[in-house]
Structure 1
Amino acid sequence: MRRVQFAFVLALTPLASAADPALECSDAGSQVEIGACVSEMRDRVEGALAVALDIARGSAGELDEVTGRKVALPALDAAQSAWAVYRDAHCDAVGVSFGGGSGTGIAITSCHIELGRARTRDLMAMAR
């Protein structure tokens, strides 16, 4: 079952060599269309991230069960919470660097995508 879930996450997560999300959406045309494109991309990344977190939580729970220690799952949950706070603060800082310009929303969403892709990879590495 874990192999099927892993394959599912890989299918949802673009290759590490993917371009900046806004550039990936450059075919969309207008800034409004690029914004819609990156929003859809963010939703897909968030879906993959949720699946990866479920897989990693399952692995952590199994480790806790095998070792008789209840530390892996709480540590993962604490790390995930801290990561979410970091992601939001970092991406807000990226947005502020646009000085309130019209590309601010696209920049923030692109930041969420990039960090979400990286976190998904990290979670899947923990689940092996």
Structure 2
Amino acid sequence: MFNFVLVLFKYVLVLFNTVLFLLRVSYICLKTIMFLPKTVLVLFISVLVLCYTKFILFKTVLVLFNTVLIIFNTFMFLFDTVLLLSITVLRLYNTILFLCITVMVLFNTVLILFYTGIVLFNTFLFL
């Protein structure tokens, strides 16, 4: 029985809140009708401000995207610079190796000429 009274009291409270809500809605409707021109003007200004805010947000996103692209471009430039430096170092290394091989070939040529001279000298001695 006590639960029934509580449930009934709860429904009465809900009904009372609903009536209060309807009174608030009717008050707002009446106020809106009374100040309709002012409300329309405020709504129009609000829409303009919202559009301008969206435009500013869009421009901000574009600026951020542009900044990200600039940072990415900078990193790509640095990467290209590192690649070019590594290619330059490798070419320098290849040039040094080529010069070393050239010196070794010249040294071997001198040795071959020296050994050829010794062989010719020995051949001359045995004749």
Asked if these proteins are the same fold (TM beyond 0.5), I'd say: no
* Structure ranking higher on relative contact order (CA contacts 8 Å, 6+ apart): 1
Query: Which has a greater percent of helix?
Result: 2
